[in-house]
A and B are shown apart, each in its own frame.
Chain A
Amino acid sequence: EDKVVQSPLSLVVHEGDTVTLNCSYEVTNFRSLLWYKQEKKAPTFLFMLTSSGIEKKSGRLSSILDKKELFSILNITATQTGDSAIYLCAVEANTGNQFYFGTGTSLTVIP
């Protein structure tokens, strides 16, 4: 059975901390892995990863994929209260536009 597992389920940190969110997957015919940020509204796209070992970076956020060990991490440095959200990991399979989502990691950044 295809599945995506995220850890931790929730996390509370102080402003300025660095956090690492994990996403492991078992998906047949892997095509890509995507990270989304969901505040109290629509999930918004952060990164798409297809190749192993290549870091994607946007400001304080970065992500990397390990296709051999079947996982990805999302790093956030110097966290701010605006980073508080649910972070979703999704894996796309090659078979017919099928996406598998993890349960998400709920991040709370306190001042």
Chain B
Amino acid sequence: DVKVTQSSRYLVKRTGEKVFLECVQDMDHENMFWYRQDPGLGLRLIYFSYDVKMKEKGDIPEGYSVSREKKERFSLILESASTNQTSMYLCASSLFAKNIQYFGAGTRLSVL
């Protein structure tokens, strides 16, 4: 079974802090994605990566950056957390030629 692991289920941070959300997948997938999920807005794509060191902006990249130094790991970085970044963050991965995304359990981030 594909496993996508997000490092934290719950995280509480203060405004202005630098926040790292980590995601690791164990199936050698080329593609990895970061979404945020908010009530009434569904899943919105922040960034995705289709290869090591490659990244593409999604629909809402402002205030976020990403890092993909190794194929299995995709990190989401909030350079200076703000209260409007309080949300559920979901990581996903997929094979390059396949459409099915496999999701992690999510990180619920609260920024106070």
Contacts and interface: CB of A to CB of B under 8 A. Distances in A.
Contacts of A92: 99
Chain A contact surface mostly? strand
Interface residues of B, number: 24
Given A41-B106, A97-B48, A97-B50, A104 B42 contact: yes
Which size bracket describes the interface of A in this complex? 20 to 34
Interface string B15-52: 00000000000000001010100001111110010100
Contacts of B76: none
Contact of B99 (A32, A41, A96, A104): A32
Given A99-B45, A101-B42, A101-B43, A42 B106 contact: yes
Contacts of A99: 33, 45, 101
Contact of A34 (B4, B35, B90, B99): B99
A41 B5 CA distance: 12
A103 B41 contact: yes
A45 B100 contact: yes
Interface string A93-111: 0001111011110000000
